[in-house]
Amino acid sequence: MYKSFKEMPIWIDAMDMAEAVFRISDNLPKKEDYGLTSQLRRSALSVSGNIAEAYGRYHIGDKLNFYYFSRGSMSETMSHLEYGTRVGYFNPEDVKPIHCILEALYESINRLIKSLKVKHKTGNKSRPLS
């Protein structure tokens, strides 16, 4: 078991992705500051934030909810990156590594959710997991 969410490989990957999103969005037009820039950065940061929140929850059902939120934020981030690419804000080659991280994160979070759902069904609803 991890002593902190900061030790979780999935959280580390999510933070790496959020940093990459911050860098790629740094050159967006000023007119996007309260639009795409804000939405993209918020959704990317929400991935790691919800993983940390899940870590801090005691009940498996609560953990699952925050992992689902994290997965939703991943999809939202992917959508924002796609939009930015389609309108010409991002070079597809610059977005590709972020998509790779997001796809790997998506698989990891799905495995984690599946594992927790099994434990939840077997009656370990109060067992602390991280």
Nearest to 69 by CA among 17, 112, 12: 112
pTM, entire model = 0.89
Each residue's pLDDT tens digit, 60-98 = 999 999 999 999 999 999 999 999 999 999 999 999 999
Nearest to 45 by CA among 65, 25, 15: 15
Contact 46, 70 (CB under 8 A): yes
Query: Among residues of the chain, what percentage have pLDDT more than 90?
Result: 85
Mean pLDDT, residues 49-58 taken together: 96
Domain boundaries defined on the chain: 5-121
Query: Per CATH, which fold does 5-121 belong to?
Result: de novo design (two linked rop proteins) (1.20.1440)
What is the rounded CA–CA span in Å between residue 68 and residue 123? 20
